[in-house]
A = this chain, B = another copy of it.
Amino acid sequence: MPVQTPIASLPSKTATAKPTATARAKQPNGQEGLAESLGLMGAVMPYPRNAEIFGEGEPADYLYKVVGGAVRTYKLLDDGRRQIGGFYLPGDIFGLEAGADHRFTAEAISDSMVLVVKRSTLVALAARQVDLARDLWTLTARELAHVQNLMLTLGRKTAQERVASFLLEMASRNSNCDAVELPMSRQDIADYLGLTIETVSRTLTQLENSAAISLPSSRRVILRNMAALRKLNA
């Protein structure tokens, strides 16, 4: 449950942002430039574990970047089923909307530090700076690509395939390519993959028994056989 809602009490030092900060050399990537300059226009806020950062349906006045910790976004169906849309790790940007409102709820998975940036600042800047406008578009497109992949996973894959996809996704983020530290609980993973917590747990032990991974602890996974996992990735 929400522990604090610091958005309302944001220090409005955003006005001090230097417009020229976004006029740096164009990165091949399309997001780095934006990610870099964000630091100059926002404030870092701490969110304790399970604190709500923003709620579904709230006005999307800010955009967020994980500085430390981890964040999940999700939607709740009225009967309590939860679909997690994505996990955000340090460096990731989330909460950017083209429309007026947030379409998901965002919560800190663990105690987290989050950079908060006023959206109107960016949108106003984007009106004059073509490449910033493109960065915003690219960011949304990246989110789209991620959800499309998730959709593929949710569509018609076995539990093993889903868990394998998840582990490979996590590994591809942690530069340390074959040891993954999971900040999220089994329930979070289950709600991300459209499975139950029991199935996730069982599947992980199956994968361990088949020597594809090992589990030194429940939150730590070592990918022992990438090839096998990738084959499951279908």
For A30, the closest partner residue in chain B by CB is: B98
For A196, the closest partner residue in chain B by CB is: B156
**A138 CA to B136 CA, complexed, in Å:** 11
**A152 CA to B77 CA, complexed, in Å:** 9
CB within 8 Å of B: which A155-171 residues: 155-157
Contact with B along A134-164 (1 / 0, CB 8 A): 1011101111110110111011110000000
Looking at the assembled complex, report how far the CB atom of A199 sits from the nearest CB atom of chain B, in whole angstroms: 11
Contact with B along A104-144 (1 / 0, CB 8 A): 10000000000000000000001100100110111011111
Segment of A2-10, A39-47, A64-72, A79-87 in the binding face: A79-87
Interface size on A, residues (CB 8 A): 39
**A83 CA to B155 CA, complexed, in Å:** 7
Given A141-B98, A141-B140, A234-B77, A85 and B154 contact (CB-CB distance below 8 Å): no
Write the residues of chain A forming the contact surface with B, with a CB cutoff of 8 angstroms.
Answer: 30, 75, 77-79, 81, 83, 85, 97-99, 103-104, 126-127, 130, 133-134, 136-138, 140-145, 147-148, 150-152, 154-157, 194-195, 234
